[in-house]
Amino acid sequence: MIKSVTKFHYVDFGIFRLDLTNRELLKDGEHIALTQKSFEILDFLIQHRGRMLKKEEILDAVWAENYVEEANLAQHIYMVRKVLKDNGDDFTYIETIPKYGYRFVGEITESTVDSSDLQKKLSTNGIHLHSNGFDTNGSNGSSNGFHKESSEVLTEVNTTPSERIRPKRSLLFPNIIFAIIFSIIIFTFIFFAYFTVSDKQTNLSNIKSISVLPFKQIGGANKDEKLGLGLADTLISHLSNQDQISILPTTTIANISENDKENLIELGEKLNVDAILTGTIQRENGFVRINVQLISVRDKVSLWTDKFDAEFSDIFSLQDKVSEQLAQKLSIKLNDSPQFSWNNQYTKNIEAFQQFTLGLSYWNNRTNENLPKAIEHFEKAIAKDDKFAAAYAHLADSYSLVGYYHLENIMPPKDACEQAKIMANKALELNPNLSEAYTALAMVSLYEDKPDDAINLYRKAINIKPDNATAHLRLAWLLTTKDNLDEAINEMRLAQKAEPQSSIINTNLARLLSLNRQTDEALNYCKKAIEIDPSQLITKVILAEIYEQKGLFDKSIKELKSVPENTPEEKTAKILLSRVYAKKGEKTEARKILKDLAKSEDSEESPSYEVATVYAHLGEKDEAVNKLKKAKEDSWLYFLHLKYDYNIDSLRDTPEYPKILSQSKDKAIKANDKKS
């Protein structure tokens, strides 16, 4: 018998072997479970090792005939990394190139073995390769003596048909065997299909919380980067119209970075949700396609994928279809109740919708610079559709912020609040149960010095929409003015639960917990805030204060010294640094910092409260009390520190303290009155 030679190609890296002939991953000769697509991705990355591969390049190579989303690729990358790590190798072989793709960075060794070479190698161990398989010690039959060195298993390539000697056999026996094998295959397929579907249904029934990510626009020339956020926002609003499943609000997902989307499973764990809904938008020649995928965070599998097509002008029907299909999969009912009034809240005008999504993106980052842009786009949305309730509500909130925070550079505060009332009431005419409109009116009530009215309006907004994080946040700070710190903290917790990825909310919760001397929790939330947005220097200062409060002085000093010069936070950081040195007993260094600050004073004096706390810890009570008497601070935050801050515990028994506290409260009230 003449045998052809089969070549077996291996790639070794770390403790693993990629068998390219038999298409499997091995560790010490043992098979490691890896899906074929994951195998192909790993193979492709290794083939182009050391080179940065674009995501599109990998997708084109592995899914040449089909369109799949980047999320699918990210999921397979995650699974490959997990398989390698779970099998004992902590080295990260696949490097993520943010906003670009991936690269294989491990060292590899390639080898090729053919059947003749392997036969010689096996023969030295008493193993012979025969036409019917492996035979130990020359006897035909089983291969029980075949040990781990034979992980380089060969499948024999037989002779050509003309070279074979075929014994005569009855046709009945092969037919029976074929029938049995065919039956087993069919049964296995049915069994697998049934339990796969059943398992997915079970997984879907376990979903209790979902994060809808901004959709990514791909292909086409007319890209609208804000369209994906707007589409996600409308889906969130639609899907939130039920009680069975929690949907994270738009403000939580609006600022999620592309880096965060690299690993959807980790993002889902960070957001503390059961599933992630992600998708893409393709626009071509007036038509649009939406591809969606629902991914289980716990099971790390795709639970549902679908695509929807329509004319771009009819994108709203696609939103409805996506919502309805997902609701059907999750077996939830989307109510058309008066509390929601979907058609009255949103628009069917594509130009109005596009302007609204632009306004929404600026409103989500509502700074002094962004608020005028938000107002501009919300007004344009209303000009395109004067029945657009959500646009009126967000426009009202933008105006209310201008008025309450006295942003004279944008418009006179009184005029801004009047506009806020007009727009909020218009929104409520269109939809009497629009939570965001009541949130805006609450801010106007605060401007008009009607805190009780504001509290009632915030509670009404929350009753309509329990996950209105903005209302929870603002209500929390309002409750502090009622000297109710515990209730304020509880309200801030609800805000954080509604928007776990908000740096601002995590920072505010940390601040309140610190005032309430719950330092461990405060530290956790402050660290989370910095992880979400490392650019916020005020959060870094608060973190230093919490370290100081816990007695971790060296960590506090490190954070304070890292605050850059010529920033608004620099002076506060230096005063706090002086206070930490005073607590450490390094009083000379503490006084030197205060002296240097006094020498370099410009027209703006140092915050009297922080300076007073330094003198309190230097043991100079009289000087500390004098600083508090001269304090010009007139905010509620200053009053809260006077009432709760542990740093002035030594001053509370002084005769002057009650009067200082009372005057501080009066100043805060008068300062608020000036705004009206």
Between 585 and 288, residue with greater pLDDT: 585
pLDDT at 133 over 60: no
Q: What is the pLDDT, as a whole number, of residue 89?
A: 72
Q: What is the pLDDT, as a whole number, of residue 458?
A: 94
Report for 96-110, 120-134, 142-156: range of highest mean pLDDT: 96-110
| pLDDT band for position 161 (cuts 50, 70, 90) | very low
According to DSSP, residue 136 is labeled: E
Instruction: List the structure tokens of 363.
Output: 């409103």
> Which residues, at least 6 apart from 248, have a Cβ–Cβ distance to it below 8 Å?
209, 210, 211, 212, 236, 271, 273, 467, 498, 499, 500
Q: What is the pLDDT, as a whole number, of residue 347?
A: 77
| pLDDT band for position 101 (cuts 50, 70, 90) | confident
Q: What is the pLDDT, as a whole number, of residue 404?
A: 84
Q: Choose among 308, 98, 342, 107: nearest CA to 236.
A: 342
pLDDT tens across 501-525, in order?
788 899 999 999 999 999 999 999 9
pLDDT tens across 242-297, in order?
667 777 766 666 666 666 666 788 888 878 888 888 888 777 666 777 778 888 88
Q: What is the pLDDT, as a whole number, of residue 144?
A: 35
Task: Please give the share of the chain, as a percent, with pLDDT higher than 90.
Answer: 24
According to DSSP, residue 369 is labeled: T
Q: What are residue 581's phi and psi, to 5 degrees?
A: -60, -40
Q: Which of 112-126, 214-228, 391-405 has the lowest mean pLDDT?
A: 112-126
Q: What is the pLDDT, as a whole number, of residue 156?
A: 34
> Which residues, at least 6 apart from 662, have a Cβ–Cβ distance to it below 8 Å?
none
pLDDT tens across 186-196, in order?
555 554 444 44
Mean pLDDT, residues 43-48? 89
Give just the sign of the alpha carbon dihedral 240, 245, 251, 254: negative
Instruction: List the structure tokens of 335.
Output: 């109510």
According to DSSP, residue 128 is labeled: E
Q: What is the pLDDT, as a whole number, of residue 473?
A: 92
pLDDT at 664 over 90: no
Instruction: List the structure tokens of 97.
Output: 């190139």
> Which residues, at least 6 apart from 64, have a Cβ–Cβ distance to it below 8 Å?
none
d(CA 419, CA 657): 42
Question: What are the counts of helices (DSSP H) followed by strands (DSSP E) for the chain?
Answer: 28, 16
Cα distances (Å, whole numbers) of residue 85 to 78, 213, 267, 306, 378? 11, 28, 19, 32, 49
pLDDT tens across 598-654, in order?
877 553 556 788 888 999 999 999 998 888 887 776 666 778 888 888 898 998 889
Q: Which residues pair with 103 in a beta bridge?
A: 95
Residue 452: burial class (beta carbons within 10 Å; 0-12, 13-18, 19+): exposed
Cα distances (Å, whole numbers) of residue 164 to 131, 161, 171? 11, 5, 18
Q: Of how many residues is the chain composed?
A: 676
| pLDDT band for position 202 (cuts 50, 70, 90) | very low
Asked whether the beta carbons of 633 and 607 are under 8 A apart, the reply is yes
pLDDT tens across 531-567, in order?
877 888 889 999 999 999 999 999 999 999 998 888 8
d(CA 502, CA 523): 16
d(CA 296, CA 275): 5
Q: What is the pLDDT, as a whole number, of residue 5?
A: 52
**What global pTM score does this model have?**
0.60
**Would you call 54 helix, strand, or coil by DSSP?**
strand
| pLDDT band for position 672 (cuts 50, 70, 90) | low
Instruction: List the structure tokens of 522.
Output: 């405060």
Q: What is the pLDDT, as a whole number, of residue 37?
A: 82
Asked whether the beta carbons of 347 and 387 are under 8 A apart, the reply is yes
pLDDT tens across 424-433, in order?
999 999 999 8
According to DSSP, residue 648 is labeled: G
Q: What is the pLDDT, as a whole number, of residue 167?
A: 38
pLDDT tens across 213-252, in order?
888 776 655 556 566 777 777 777 667 666 677 777 666 6
Q: What are residue 657's phi and psi, to 5 degrees?
A: -60, -50
Average per-residue pLDDT for the chain: 76
pLDDT tens across 72-90, in order?
787 788 888 888 887 777 6
pLDDT tens across 325-373, in order?
766 666 555 554 434 344 445 677 878 887 888 888 788 777 788 899 9
Q: What is the pLDDT, as a whole number, of residue 162?
A: 33
